[in-house]
Every structure is written in structure tokens, then in C-alpha cells.
Chain A
Amino acid sequence: MIMKTLLPAALAGLLCIAAATSSAQPGLKLNVHEYELDNGMKVLVKPDARAPVVVVQVWYKVGSADEHSGITGVSHVLEHMMFKGTKRYPAGEFSRIIAANGGEENAFTSRDYTAYYEMLEQSRLPIALDLEADRMRNLTMSKDAFLKEIEVVKEERRLRTDDSPPSLTYEQLNATAFNHGPYHHPIIGWMSDLEHLTIEDAGRWYDSWYAPNNATLVVVGDVEPEAVRKLAEQYFGDIPAKKLPDRKPRPEAPQRGERRAVVKAPAELPYLMQAYKTPALLMSEQEWEPYALAVAAGVLDAGRSSRLSQRLVREQQVAASAGAGYDLYSRYDDLFLLDATPASGRGMAEVEQALDHEIDKLRTELVPQAELDRVKTQVVASEVYAQDSIMTQATTLGALETIGVGWEAIEAYVERIRAVTSEQVREVSRKYLIEDKRTTAVLEPVAIQPAAKRAAAATEPAR
């Protein structure tokens, strides 16, 4: 239930150990090698030879934010279909070949991108590149496979959204906060759109967006950069670039006043989410602002010593859990999020008041230096911890590059965070964390039928 803050989670990179003492130190250089093929495909390579393993990721700059009403969810459905075969490697072959080589593979879709990955023993890198290059241009979709896979996706939606009251609440919060812009609809799509999605919709999406000039290859692991560049050239170099569709900006109209949504669903616990409209780094006119918002989110919820845990959960005991999160890396302006579950016997109004009070404090008081330093130390430490996973490193590089801020933003991150002052935290809080830019969604539980509850109770051990 606790929403983990994005502050540590969304970022990785930068090995800068002395920085943890919060002395003023510049961020170190990441050893990232960047290339661009003639067809416009970007290649990022980061050597990490701790283990004889390599991660390969292919990122396409297309996600649910590019979809329009009626075909929502098509990016994600296409992601599923990308495993359904090509002429050279028919259905099932992709997974079989990766498996036979001891690899892991999967893919993920977001608002801003769709990404595919393989993780393998390092000498098998060419196998993944061959398969990825093949399905970049040669995907064949059969009607039969599509009709089965769309049912799988509907089951995924039922599992992750429809039967999860907090997820339903988030979906409504998001759709209410963004009432028409690119982030309005859910990544997985509305069920009514999934019901009517066709193989032609998925095919058009593939033809429009899957091209080397809309893709980034990321390779992290026990590799030599120049060798990877040659392999990338060999496998992807002859795939022709395409003219990509125009991306209309579709900015969300300014929000003029607070919005509220109520979600009623079979549930036991009430739940609250709040969202404030905030700038993303990419769109921000003041570059320091997103970093100050990230620090503000950290002051609220970088860990158990942060304000929401310390005050709402432990001191006032008004919430059983409470969280805050802000992600500065997105293609369009995004949300500063709060969530909370009331403690037993405490009401939703009390929880809202307590959250308001914390936001108000950010707007009116300066964060004490010791607290600010602690948040920054946590940020730096989590950057170091992120180095432990080559998958995390690759994912961060790919996401930043695909979103458009460029992977170099990771190098600047610690430095920028460390430069944030208490005055700046107060200033962005005054500017963005205001009622008129807020959306609140409340889950109001509908009683689960007594029969179901009795049966559930009957599953307790009889002791």
C-alpha cells in the first residue's frame, strides 16, 4: 500500500562515494559510450565487468502518451505481439532461442516508451542483437495469435487494475488530473478500447513507430564499447529509417481549480491519492525547479525518517501508511503524488488535513539544514546502490535517452540535487503544491458481500 517514492527508485548511475558525506563535490563521469548509426539509431554502451553478463535493451519512443481515444492500450498490446514471430523466427522461437542460451527476456510499456530486453552470458550478445533487429522490421502477426493475446491483455487489466481498488483509484486520479492530454488514459488502455482493438490497429502502430530512427539500443555489462558499436552496425545498420508520424504536443489545458474523484469498489479499506500538476525536467523553463520538487518529495518520503512516516504514521497515527513521489523524467509535464491509508479508527478527512498541513509547512517554512542534508545523502547512496544492478543501469540510460532529456542527465543529477536549497524547496512548493492545481481521488469501499467475508473468515486457521 505504501507508495515508494520515485526519488531513489527512478534513477541510477553515478558512482561518487565521497559525495555521501554531502561535502560539495562534482558528480563523476559515467563511462557511457554513445554512438549513432547512419539510419538514426542511437547506441549507448556502458561497460561493467563485475560479472560475465550483458543486458541488451531496445527502446522505442512510443507509448500510451502517443495514443488517441479509441485505440488506448495499443502500444502495450503491440509489445505483447512482438513475441509472436517473424518469418525467420516463427512464433515461440524468440523465447526458445533466448532460453536455450541461458537468457532472460521480457518487455515493458510506459506512457513514454516501449522497451524490450534480454539478459545473457556476455559472449551471447550477438544472439540478442540478431533477434531484436529481426523483429524491428519483420514482425508477422497472425489473426489467431492476436485474438488470443488480446484476451491475455484483458486478463492483465483485470488482474492489475479492475480487481485492485488502489489501482482503480490511481486510474481515476490520473484521468481526472489530465482530462484530455497525453497522460489522460491508462497505459494498459480502457477495457472498452481493448474490446474493439484490431490486429490492423496493432499493425499500423508497428509500421508507424518501429524504426531505427525512433529507437535506442542500450548495452550494459561485460562488453567492449567499440565491439558493440560494430555489432550494432552489423545487425541494425541496414534497417532503413522511416518518416515518423508528427507528434502533436496536445498540452493539457491549465487546471482552474481543484478536482475531485470518488471511486466506489468492493474493498475493506478507504484510500486517498492526491496529485499536483508539476513540470517535468524536459519541459521546465527553470531547470532547478524539478530538482527542488524531487527534494520536496524526499523531505516527505525518502524513508522512515521522512515527514510522512514520522508525523502521519508515528506521531499523529492518523495514517497506517503514507507516501509521496515525483518523477522529473517524463516526456510531458507530470504529477507530484501523495497517497495514504487511514489508520484504524481515523477518518479520511483527518488524513487529508494532515497531508494539507505537511504541504503547507513546505510552503511556509524552510526545511532545516540537517533534514535537507539527510535527504541528499539518501539520494547519493541510492545512486550508488543502483550500480549493483546492470539492469537498473541500462533501464535508466534507456529511459532518459528515450524521453529526450539525454542520458547525461544522470551525470548531472547528484550535483543538481545537492545544489537545491531550502529556499528553493519552499519556492517550488509555493508555486506548484497549491489547491487549484490539485486533484484528489478517494476510494470509498463498497462492502464485500457478507457471504464472501464469511467464507474468507472461514479460511483462518482454527486455533
Chain B
Amino acid sequence: MRLMVYSRALLAAALLALAPWPAQAGVNIEHWTTGNGVRVYFTPAPELPIVDVRMVMDAGSARDGEQPGVAGMTATLLNEGSGELDADAIAVRFEEVGAEYAGDAGLDQASVSLRSLSDENLFEPAFNTFMRVLTAPSFPPEAVERIRNQMLVGLREEAQSPDAIASRAFYRAVYGAHPFASPVSGTEQSVRALDRNDVRAFHERYYVADNAVLALTGDMTRARAERLAARIASRMPEGEPPAPLPEVQPLDAARTVKIPFPSEQAHIYIGQPGIARGDPDYFPLYVGNHILGGSGFTSRLMKEVRVERGLSYSVYSYFLPELVAGPFMIGLQTRIDQATEAAQVARDTVRKFVRKGPTSEELKLATSNITAGFPLRIDSNADILEYLALIGYYKLPLDYLDSFNQNVEAVDQARIRAAFGKHLNIEHMVKVIVGGDAKG
């Protein structure tokens, strides 16, 4: 329930975006590819009677092309109909066996997930329904109109949120003509223009075996996982992976976007294009950002902006690596009349960090935090699933986990300075401020 509980910190989910999901030592990741190209990643976890299944595809909004919102609409419509089943029947089929289904699209991927009890009599019907919605959705015309209506309501909800307005403006300013500039939720005009054929075509093109990664964990054997993978893959056409996304161009100048809004706080985003998953500088940037703004209460941004000056409740920075360079961004919110000061403090903090890097004390603390906290990152089936999907989708090495602490420990001050110097240009940052009047 909203507002039931107040936390000392509202840690943006994104704050963890650069965090990997390594397993405790000894987690066994098994990997194979089905006959028609679905890459499968499996870790058994028999302790609880739960099974988790997730299919991830390169079918996020980066594939929207001239139709912003089509990826999101497709993912949302999957469980609205399949064959003789309508949305009501599908919902009942999942829920009468206690299963939980979710499907949604992000920037560089779409994912469809099922959590079910592992008892054969409960899991089998849930998995059958899951296969149907993923591989044979019917996109009923009535549902297309209803989901369109809900997406339009969602856009109006964004328009009353200074944070959502700031986020849209940030991506647009950072990415310009690149597909990442296009919001997952589309625009009013584009959502109104989408039709059922667009969604069907998108599904046919992108929800194909050669564009899909399957992550499985929970109470099942390798043999059972193989059977499940084969069954679902056999219902998908082989297809082919889409062309790689265009490379992201660095910004050639600083840019400030100010948007007036009748709010108590200004929402501020500062940043630029960051790195792609798999970048060789990942670990120095990850450890460095941990110190800069990724570690909550011990981070520099938190100290400077919140602890020392009381300017913001939440302040953080992160790299969000995607198939191609996702953003580096800093976020904070502050009373309107403090916006300029807070943004300046954040900028100065980053500037100093890029120039001088961390102290040896800071690096030591960050390294011990990350390495000693390793078991926390994968202490649940939900974590393991996230991690399998991450490794599989971005083709990270299978020993990514086993070598994780080693890679963190190999980071030194010089590598952090070099990586930040190479990837961040403090003179070419985008700054978005939403709130207050236009003069701000």
C-alpha cells in the first residue's frame, strides 16, 4: 500500500542498475542452445517449491522505429488473447494455479516472466498458458483499443509527474536522433496511430527464437529444464536477430534544458551517454561509481548533497549499460529555490571525482563493500533469475560470477581515473531541470 511506510532513503531502483547479479561461489550456470537458436541459461535451486521462467528478447523500444510505443504495446498485449482464450480466461488460467505472469518492454529488451509453484499439476497449466501468450498471442481488436486507451492515460500520468517529464527530456537531450531517445511509452500522437497490424508485425519480427534468451531457475532438474526449453522453443519461428543498434554518438556540447512545472521541488538530471554492457572499462566504472554515487549513504554525492547540505532526500549516480551505450546519469530533487545550488554541488562533485579519482581509503571501502557483500547479490531465486537473464542477454562470460570479486579487486585508483577520464566529459553534460518557472 502506498505511503504505509517511510524509509530513510528512497533508493531509486536504477541506483542498482550497474550492479551485477553475481552468484555466491559455486552457483552452477548451465547453458545450451535449442535447435532453432534460443539461448538457454539454467541454475537449479531446489530448496523452495518454486519455478521461475523468463524469456528476454531484443524487442524493446529501441526497435520502435517510426512507431514509438509499439514495443511496449506488444509486450502489454501478449496476455490479452490467444486462440480461443480471451484476457479473462488467460488471467484465470494463471491465477487458479497461483501463478504470476508479467510482460513488459524496456529500452533495449522486452521480457516475459512466469513464477509458478513447481508441483507438476500447478506448473504444467501455467507453463502451457505462458507458452501460448508468448508465442501465439491473438491481439484482439477490442484489447488493442483498450490498451491504447490505458497507454494514453499513462502518458497523462507522466505529464503530471515532474520526474517523468525530466526523464523524458533527459533521454531526448542525451540521445538526439538515436533510438534510445524514444520513450518506451511512446507519444500521444504515435500511440493514437498504432494499429493491430503494427503490433502483429512487431511480434512476428522480434519474438523469434534467434532473438530470444531463456532463463530458468528453481525446483527442477536439468533434464526437466531442457524439456521445457525445447517445448517453448519449438513454438517459436527461428527468425533472425535484428541488425545491431546504431552506436551512440558522444555529445559535442553541454546542454541545459529547463522546463517550468508547478511543483514544490525541482527534479534534476545530469548526464551523458555511458557504456555498453561488456565494455572493458566496466569494472573500474562500476567501482568508481559506487564511490561517486552508487553506494547509498557512503557515496560522495550523498555526503555532499544530503548529509553536508540537506539539499535532497535522494541523490545518486549510475551507469546503465545496455546493448549499446546506455546513459550515465545523476539524479536529485530539491526545493525550487535551491535547484541551482544543488545542481552545482552535484556537478562539482562529479568534476572533482573525474579529475582526481577516489582516495585510497574510499577505494578500499568500496572494494570491501562489494566483495564482502557478494553473497547478498544472489540470495534468492528472484536474484538468480535476474542474473541468468543478464548474463544470457548480454552474452557476458559464464564465469562472470566466479571472477567477479577478482575483477573488482583488480581495480585501482589509476584505472578508475583513466576510465572516468575516457568515458565522461564534464564539459559536455546534459542538465535537465523540471520545476519552477521558465527563468529558473
Residues on A facing B (Cβ under 8 Å): 1, 3-4, 6, 9-10, 15, 17-18, 20-21, 50-53, 76, 79-80, 83, 92, 95-96, 99-111, 119-122, 124, 147-156, 158-167, 170-171, 186-188, 266-269, 302-305, 309-310, 313-314, 317, 320-321, 325, 327, 337, 341, 343-344, 370, 373-374, 377-378, 380-382, 384-385, 387-390, 445, 448-449, 451-453, 455-456, 459-461, 463
Contacts and interface: CB of A to CB of B under 8 A. Distances in A.
Contacts of B159: 268, 448, 453, 456
7 contacts: A3-B1, A15-B48, A105-B297, A148-B308, A385-B115, A452-B259, A460-B168
Contacts of B8: 79-80, 83, 106-108
Contacts of B5: 108-110, 187
B87 A314 contact: yes
A53 B379 contact: yes
B238 to A, nearest CB: 32
Given A155-B335, A389-B382, A461-B68, A381 B98 contact: yes
Contacts of B87: 304, 314
A121 B376 contact: yes
A152 B297 CA distance: 13
A102 B6 contact: no
Contact of B160 (A158, A171, A374, A445): A445
A203 B10 CA distance: 25
Contacts of A267: 160
Nearest to A4: B1
B80 to A, nearest CB: 9
B310 A147 contact: yes
> How big is chain B's contact interface, by range?
35 or more
A100 B2 CA distance: 33
Contacts of A325: 1
Given A380-B98, A385-B100, A461-B182, A343 B48 contact: no
A157 B330 CA distance: 21
A108 B187 CA distance: 37
A441 to B, nearest CB: 13
A121 B372 contact: yes
Contact of A305 (B2, B92, B168, B296): B92
A305 B311 contact: no
Given A109-B5, A327-B1, A385-B50, A448 B365 contact: no
Contacts of B194: none
B265 A163 contact: yes
A120 B370 CA distance: 11
B158 to A, nearest CB: 9
B157 interface: yes
Given A102-B374, A121-B372, A461 B156 contact: no
A370 B97 CA distance: 12
A103 B1 contact: no
Contacts of A374: 92, 95-96
A343 B259 CA distance: 28
A384 B88 contact: no
Interface in B150-172: 150, 152-154, 156-157, 159-162, 165, 168-169, 172
Contact of B187 (A124, A337, A381, A461): A461
Contacts of B407: none
A-B pairs, top 4 by smallest CB distance, nearest first, are A381-B98, A102-B372, A102-B373, A151-B310
Interface in B326-370: 333-335, 365, 368-370
B2 A266 contact: no
Interface in B138-196: 146, 149-150, 152-154, 156-157, 159-162, 165, 168-169, 172, 181-183, 187, 189-190
Contact of B91 (A79, A95, A109, A303): A303
Contacts of B197: none
Nearest to B334: A155
B91 A159 contact: no
B9 interface: yes
Contacts of B115: 385
A59 B105 CA distance: 38
Contact of A377 (B97, B295, B381): B97
Nearest to A164: B161
B172 A461 contact: yes
B313 A155 contact: yes
A443 to B, nearest CB: 10
B368 A388 contact: no
Interface string B237-274: 00000000000000000000101111111000000000
A4 B102 CA distance: 14
B124 to A, nearest CB: 13
B312 A152 contact: yes
Nearest to B175: A461
Nearest to B308: A148
Nearest to A147: B310
B84 interface: no
Nearest to A111: B4
B264 A163 contact: yes
A121 B265 contact: no
B365 A269 contact: no
B312 A155 contact: yes
Contacts of A463: 66, 68, 182, 187, 190
A451 B438 contact: yes
Most buried by B among A79, A152, A167, A382: A152
Contacts of A268: 156-157, 159-160
B122 A384 contact: no
Contacts of A304: 79, 87, 91, 94-95
Contacts of B100: 303, 381, 385
B335 A99 contact: no
B222 to A, nearest CB: 19
Most buried by B among A105, A161, A461, A463: A461
Given A158-B335, A159-B10, A320-B150, A101 B379 contact: no
B121 A21 contact: yes
Interface string B1-30: 111111111110000000000001000000
B372 A101 contact: yes
Contact of A317 (B45, B96, B146, B370): B146
Interface string B297-337: 11000000011111111100000000000000000011100
Contacts of A102: 368-374, 376
